[in-house]
Structure 1
Amino acid sequence: MDVPEVPSKVDPDALTAVLDGRWADLRRGVRAQMAETKFRDPVALDVEAHRAQVLDQLRALAETDRPGLGFDPAYGGGGDVGGSVTSFEMLGYGDLSLMVKAGVQWGLFGGAVQLLGTERHHERYLRAIVDLDLLGCFAMTEHGHGSDVQHLRTTATFTDGGFVIHTPDAMAQKEYIGNAARDGRMAVVFAQLITGSEERGVHAFMVPIRDEDGAPMPGVSIEDCGPKAGLNGVDNGRLSFDDVRVPREALLNRFGDVAEDGTYSSPIESDSRRFFTMLGTLIRGRVSVGGSAGSATKRALALAIRYGERRRQFMTPDGDEVVILDYLGHQRKLLPALAKTYALHFAQEELVSKLHDIDSSAPEEEQRELESRAAGLKALNTWHATATIQAAREACGGSGYLAENILPGLKADTDVFTTFEGDNTVLLQLVAKGLLTSYKQDFEDLSPLATARFFTDQVVSTILERTSVRKALESLTEGSDSDVFFRREWQLRLFEDREQHVVEGVAKRLRKAADDPFGVFNAAQDHVLRAGRVHVERLVLEAFAAAVERCEDPDARTLLERVCDLYALSAIEEDLAWFLGHGRLTASRGKAVTSAVNRLCSELRPHARALVDAFAIPEQFRAAPMLVS
């Protein structure tokens, strides 16, 4: 196979055109707005000063058209869901506290009102939320229940024509609630709805938490979570409610309502299905977190690669000091991570397009597939951010440890991304659940016990036909290592075959769950998580391959081909034990994978700067003292 050589020089703008994709005009506009705004770095600010600065920046952001992009035009919005998520994603280039606070205000608080409420809520609240006249919170997480939202303990009991919101014990205290400690005046509170002594599951309620003077409302207790490892510009707090009365209209009633006489009604009969449908409407936050993690990763790589091109260390035999990015070990730290960042970017762009295009009347299976993809990509994006920012910090040595050089702040601020908007381990179980069966109309919750039963009941009909894939893969393994490794079809088939084998293995193990469903599921949990991960890795490779096909500039396309090869082969190398252990690669070919990754790192080294410049991160976010000669 003749692999085209990478051109000696590729215009970063040609790469940017591919990266910017569907919302290219919006991305250019956001960059222009960012360039015109003075960026105030939060380094050395104390918690209160940082919070004040972020609120000041949030008000400046509210004066632009960006916060309203995802809202209905009737209430000052732009009706552009994909553009809204893309705009939030780009906030990840700057102070991540601003991104999170903006996400709480317009993505979570405003999004809940828009997507869970009805016209009466839209009329009353949305314009004030968009304009920042009403700052709010998204009060879901409790001290005792984070991922297990279905079993939250806060109650909303219908009595005397309204609801009484109550925190029954310490485990039900709302915790880690953004905007609660300092600035929020109202909260969307998730609680178990009780009417006529009957529990109807988790619903959302509009609950005032502060009066006009900023004092807590009667019955509302507010505590400050205090300093955190990062994101200290976000005022996270704890909320408790002592028999707080709200009117009947406080219920966000798109999916469930209570009449004046206490009669409950819903367009969705099943409590479980209603709950998951409600949560499914709120995936924008999860998508935005994954995209913002990607932006922070790009910023870290841009800093580390720029530094690696100017920092010199140790002499050659000729007496010249070597630029550290010329060392293979340094390339190995950064370039496979850069390739994966490109791959995840294209997968994220594809996800945002699907989110934008899906209709509320779309079949349930299509909606669940979108939720699964959002869950999986959020997990991979945030884990990748954690690993890559750490690698970038190490690649910059002591300079990378100085706060002024940005990387420590990025590391601290993104660390929590792996557990908020869904713990990554739980999210990958959600992905695996979707792989093992088509969704039931009335499916169970995500507890290990219910999930195991779910698998047991449904799995027999879900095993995919493997023969055609295996035969196709075998036909593509003939030839030299380089012939095989650089065939895109072989890479895709290998990822697909791995996914199918892992899913089939999980299914076989979980068939035994009838006698001890929890024990069997718990013993197979590592296998379940692998199934979710390899599925998402296959989707990511497919998205990258599709993006390469869209690239019109021939030189940029050739470079992206090699970057895609590096992503695929480094992912294979990372999971080499599986491919060897399951006979997909011979021992000699396994060694050759490592050689191919080394070769690609060497070939892509001259283009490292162009590849990070193509992210088009505004220069003010790429400035660091370590990059000044």
Structure 2
Amino acid sequence: MATPTSKVSENGYAQPVVDVPALTRLLDGEHAAVRDKVRVSLVEHAGLLDEAEELSRDAYRDRVLETVVAMAGTGQTAYHFPAEYGGAGDFGATVAAFETTAFGDLSVLVKVGVQFGLWGGAVLNLGTQWHHDAYLADIAAGRLLGCFAMTESGHGSNVQAIGTTATYDAETREFVIQTPDDASRKDFIGNAARHGRMAAVFAQLIVDGDNKGVHCLVVPLRDEEGQPLPGVRIGDCGHKMGLNGVDNGRLWFDDVRVPREALLNRFADVSEDGAYSSEIESANRRFFTMLGTLVMGRVSVAGAGISASKVAMAIATRYADRRRQFATDDDQPEQLLLDYGLHQRRLFPLLARTYALHFAQDGLRRQFDDVFSGRATSEEIRRDLESKAAGIKALGTWHATRTIQECREACGGAGYLSANRFAALKADTDVFTTFEGDNHVLLQLVAKGLLTDYSSEFGDMSQFDLVKFVASMAVDQVVERTMAHRLIERLRDVLPGDDKWNQDAGLLDPAYHLDMLRFREEHMLAGAAKRLKRGVDSGMPAGEVFSRVQDHVIATANAHVERLVLESFVAVFATLPQGPNRVALGLLCDLFALSTIEADRGWFMEHNRLTTNRSKAISREINDLCRKLRPLAVDLVDAFGVPEEMLRAEELLSWE
């Protein structure tokens, strides 16, 4: 896109030209004041990062709770609540605050998410005025601690099959909550083991002997002294790989009775005499509509994973700009790690991907805000939000796992010291890839949307219905229903093996980058549709068809999300004024695009979109981009705005 021009330093690299404050303002966006407020709070509680390694488990949990309640007192944890309950009615601000909170202790982050996002969000989004008046103010202030009790030991991602029941007793006007077996116990529930007083419990609603499907009820767990209420059994999940400041627990309910008003009845209700009613006739659609209101969790976790990557990148990049190892000549000083081409190759593509994911996440946050604030009301936009949230959550959290590991290794033995933050980052983010939805399951959701174009049947479809739906269509129909189908029209006259369109494009042309990723997505989507249709046409059961094609479906979804991420980055770049930051982000955008193509070069070569010479040229260009980014790297990670106290890497960064 552009090459920086500036003074050359003694080591042969151009001097940094990034305007760091301006770039931070760009990254912080419209919620810069919210993010700064959170940064101040993080610094005030920075001591918790040290205490986490010294305190006992219960003491650490209580210290995390103390921090969360203090944060709630500043208003930074419940922006999405209505103003009359202590919030600001600003869903985008809540996500921005959560993303920034992820720079600090991640047990605090998850505790915030459980209390205000999951527990509070369930009451806010699934309840009605009565529930809001009864609970929201105390939830927002951190006075009423609660849980989000959906997951069960025997039923993780398949929420529709949970075993807990809520049976309506018309004589007493109560629901009876029952855990029928250990497979149906609520498992891994945050806030349950120690602090939660109530829970949003998801259960099969039984009315007059008829199962109405999964609904959510508010169920008390503990009395004012913290003791379990009659019929409520509570267990502790114990020590975990990470996030030990969060009191994850297990819940059983033995004929626990709650009043009729305990049903969160935004989408369905039960009258006093036991009549069930809902404006949504389809049980499946009612279920998916209910879950759709809880998408904030996925949006937030995606941002948290990206923020954790920023912390790791900041530590590793700054360390590599100080640490020296080996000399190129006998009479020269040892060389900085960041001057080595291999070190640049290890870190800079990850840095570029971190920026790319940031801009994709920022667009997702704005879309989420539009939907939940009521500015965007169409079903298509809501479905698109759910798909993007699933896809960016998957790629963002996988990126965090990969980035933190690579950054740890890039810091050598020093990175292995707990004092240098990587141990906590690795342990605490590892679960991000599976909570709020296992990433592979989420990518299946993305693929389902692509294959059906979010048709009216989308919400009702199981994977078996999906197979039959696609098999009932001509493959061309599937392709035509997708967002990128116009690219196919442009390439119809390109014969297999003819790389003319490839050779005519410059390697740093964003149109070329987008065409490559769009073509890959489109080709994979058509391939998945063909395989599904061929399997059904051959008489194979739908379940087996899907199982055999599952890897192709996941690859298609991954290709789709990577294309969305690149489009987000290119769109932001197009808005930037001329100047050093435009140059820097142009280099990063090019690097993200080319490293994405390089990572899947086998596929592109198999499908005649890349010649061996072109592939080698891309690798050379990536190396060149890394060299150009070398003098900008420290400024680019400083622009993330991670407070110094959050880096907690004195062993790495306190010496020259």
TM-score bracket, normalised by the shorter chain, equals: over 0.9
Of residues 425, 435, 441, the one that matches 1:420 is 435
Secondary structure, aligned partner of 1:235: coil
Asked if structure 2 preserves the Cα contact closer than 8 Å seen for 1:187 and 1:208, the reply is: yes
Of residues 306, 315, 329, the one that matches 2:342 is 329
* Alignment partner of 1:612 is 2:637: yes
Asked if structure 2 preserves the Cα contact closer than 8 Å seen for 1:179 and 1:234, the reply is: yes
Cα shift readout 1:460-515 (whole Å, capped 9, x = no counterpart) = 53222453342699775344xxx611001111111111111110100010112432
Of residues 346, 349, 353, the one that matches 2:362 is 349
TM-aligned CA deviation for residue 455 of structure 1: 3.1
Aligned to 1:577: 602
Length-normalised TM-score, structure 1 = 0.96
Asked if structure 2 preserves the Cα contact closer than 8 Å seen for 1:290 and 1:379, the reply is: yes
Aligned to 2:284: 272
Cα shift readout 1:570-620 (whole Å, capped 9, x = no counterpart) = 001111111111000111101111111111111101111001000011111
Unaligned runs of 5+ in 2: 7-14
What is the 5 A alignment of 1:23-34? 23-34=31-42
CA separation of 1:458/1:415 partners in 2, compared to 1, >3 Å: closer, same or farther? farther
Secondary structure, aligned partner of 1:414: helix
TM-aligned CA deviation for residue 445 of structure 1: 5.3
Amino acid at match of 2:587: R
Aligned to 1:470: 491
Q: Which runs of 4+ in 1 moved over 6 A?
A: 471-475
Cα shift readout 1:331-372 (whole Å, capped 9, x = no counterpart) = 111110000000000000000000001255722222111100
Asked if structure 1 preserves the Cα contact closer than 8 Å seen for 2:305 and 2:397, the reply is: yes
Cα shift readout 1:261-309 (whole Å, capped 9, x = no counterpart) = 1111111100000000100000001110110111111001100111111
Amino acid at match of 2:350: A
What is the 5 A alignment of 1:39-438? 39-41=47-49, 42-159=52-169, 160=171, 161-317=173-329, 318-358=331-371, 362-438=377-453
Which stretch of structure 1 is more off in the superposition, 459-468 or 342-351? 459-468
Asked if structure 2 preserves the Cα contact closer than 8 Å seen for 1:31 and 1:618, the reply is: yes
Asked if structure 1 preserves the Cα contact closer than 8 Å seen for 2:502 and 2:610, the reply is: no
TM-aligned CA deviation for residue 568 of structure 1: 0.4
Percent identity of equivalent pairs: 52
Aligned to 2:522: 500
Of residues 506, 519, 523, the one that matches 1:484 is 506
Which stretch of structure 1 is more off in the superposition, 340-349 or 22-31? 22-31
TM-aligned CA deviation for residue 252 of structure 1: 0.2
C-alpha distance in structure 1 between counterparts of 2:458 and 2:174, whole Å = 31
C-alpha distance in structure 1 between counterparts of 2:293 and 2:39, whole Å = 29
Asked if structure 2 preserves the Cα contact closer than 8 Å seen for 1:286 and 1:378, the reply is: yes
C-alpha distance in structure 2 between counterparts of 1:237 and 1:126, whole Å = 23
TM-aligned CA deviation for residue 143 of structure 1: 0.2
* Alignment partner of 1:14 is 2:27: no
C-alpha distance in structure 1 between counterparts of 2:79 and 2:566, whole Å = 30
CA separation of 1:38/1:443 partners in 2, compared to 1, >3 Å: closer, same or farther? closer
Secondary structure, aligned partner of 1:254: coil
C-alpha distance in structure 2 between counterparts of 1:553 and 1:54, whole Å = 45
C-alpha distance in structure 2 between counterparts of 1:554 and 1:489, whole Å = 22
Asked if structure 2 preserves the Cα contact closer than 8 Å seen for 1:476 and 1:484, the reply is: no
C-alpha distance in structure 1 between counterparts of 2:531 and 2:26, whole Å = 43
Unaligned runs of 5+ in 1: none
CA separation of 1:447/1:556 partners in 2, compared to 1, >3 Å: closer, same or farther? same
C-alpha distance in structure 1 between counterparts of 2:626 and 2:131, whole Å = 54
* Alignment partner of 1:517 is 2:530: no
Amino acid at match of 2:362: E
Q: How many residues align?
A: 625
CA separation of 1:443/1:319 partners in 2, compared to 1, >3 Å: closer, same or farther? closer
Amino acid at match of 1:411: K
TM-aligned CA deviation for residue 443 of structure 1: 4.1
CA separation of 1:467/1:444 partners in 2, compared to 1, >3 Å: closer, same or farther? closer
TM-aligned CA deviation for residue 519 of structure 1: 1.2
